[in-house]
């Protein structure tokens, strides 16, 4: 009889714990100013980190040919600078940093006469 009473008592205690357990629900209220600040922050970051420049890539390949192309380019266009960029496993030769697409396309047309595989890259 005592065992049965303990069993019923434990059963009722467990039942009461389940019946009175808490439900987790979170309500977050934030002001409209915070939303405006987040929107402004996104816009500023978009302007700061978006690419607005163009460059002309003249060559993409191994180091020896990249150096050859770079030297040839410097002989043909001494007023323009070039960059030799390594990106595993190849090298790139690039020239120019143009803010306006029209100017970049004009330069590209001139360069393509000597380097037909040259193309524009937005960065």
Query: Tokens 């030799």 sit at which residue?
Result: 84
Distance separating alpha carbons of residues 65 and 71, to the nearest angstrom: 10
pTM: 0.60
**Fold (CATH) for 54-122:** Alpha-Beta Plaits (3.30.70)
Please return the burial class of 98, using the count of CB atoms within 10 Å of its CB with bins 0-12, 13-18 and 19+: buried
Domain ranges within the chain, ordered by starting residue = 54-122
pLDDT tens over the chain, length 123 residues: 677 777 777 776 666 665 555 667 888 888 888 889 989 988 888 777 776 889 999 999 999 999 999 999 999 999 999 999 999 899 999 999 998 999 999 999 999 999 999 999 988
């Amino acid at each position: 009889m005592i065992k049965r009473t303990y069993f019923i008592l434990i059963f009722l205690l467990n039942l009461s714990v389940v019946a009175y357990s808490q439900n987790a629900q979170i309500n977050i209220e934030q002001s409209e100013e915070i939303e405006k600040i987040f929107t402004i922050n996104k816009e500023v970051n978009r302007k700061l980190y978006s690419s607005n420049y163009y460059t002309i890539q003249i060559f993409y390949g191994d180091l020896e040919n990249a150096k050859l192309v770079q030297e040839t380019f410097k002989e043909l266009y001494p007023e323009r600078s070039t960059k030799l960029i390594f990106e595993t496993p190849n090298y790139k030769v690039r020239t120019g940093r143009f803010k306006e697409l029209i100017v970049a396309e004009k330069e590209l047309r001139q360069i393509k006469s000597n380097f037909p595989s040259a193309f524009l890259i937005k960065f």
